[in-house]
Amino acid sequence: MNNQKIKKINTKKIEKAIEMIIEAIGENKKREGLLETPKRVAKMYEELFSGYSVDISRIFKVFTEDKHDEMIIVKDIPFYSICEHHFLPMYGYANVAYIPNNNKITGLSKLARIVDAISKRLQQQERITTQIAEEIMKYLQPKGVMVILKAEHLCMTMRGVKKPGTMAVTSCMKGIFLKDQRTRNEALHLLK
């Protein structure tokens, strides 16, 4: 993640690939309803995978706030991602908590931006959770960070086991949240 290079989406390749998929499933790519589909999908993929073009280091702006060393929580941040195994969406909510170190904080919107930047890539929910926590630790250097994601995966809803409404919950704890059960319990209580 930290060595992630900024990438530009190649929309022409996506358009060709979608044309091939249309043909492969037995459809007529020249049918009126499908004529613009490759371009529409390529444009959609630019948005869905926009996280590849984000420089994570530019998201965080660190401020020093006088005497603030208490827990900061932003909860129920909506996120959408694409599962790398089946190319189907997963969607849900992220909860992010951190305890500043040396009064260093960031804007609340920056926590939502980091969730977006990391989730808008081909992903696994477990990886999204860990990467968010690692990036916050790297750039804010807090006493600790806790990230909890809850999401529905359409690969479990539309195919395979076909269990709509099933939610996957993942968590990653670093620093004091991992070492101090009272701090972890306080955060979990506040997140309820």
Lowest mean pLDDT among 5-14, 33-42, 120-129, 181-190: 5-14
Average pLDDT of span 168-179:
98
**CB atoms inside a 10 Å sphere around CB 147:** 27
Dist CA 156 CA 89 (whole Å)? 10
CATH code of the domain containing 36 = 1.10.286.10
Residue from 1, 7, 101, 126 nearest 56 by CA: 1
Q: State whether 38 and 69 are in the same domain.
A: no
**Count of structural domains, the chain:** 2
Does 56 map to a domain?
no
Q: What is the pLDDT of residue 116?
A: 98
Residues of the chain with pLDDT > 70, as a percent, come to: 97
What does the pLDDT average to over 42-49?
A: 97
- The domain of 31 spans 11-48
CATH of the domain at 114: 3.30.1130.10
- Residues with catalytic roles: 83-86, 125, 153, 155
Question: What pTM, to 2 d.p., does this model score?
Answer: 0.93
Q: 188 to each of 16, 73, 96, 142, 184, how far by Cα in Å?
A: 47, 10, 11, 18, 6
The proportion of the chain whose per-residue pLDDT surpasses 90, expressed as a percent, equals 91
Asked whether the predicted pLDDT for residue 4 surpasses 70, the reply is no
pLDDT at residue 2, as a whole number: 43
Asked if 139 and 96 count as a contact pair (C-beta separation under 8 A), the reply is no
Domain match, 99 and 180 both:
yes
Q: Is 2 inside a domain boundary?
A: no
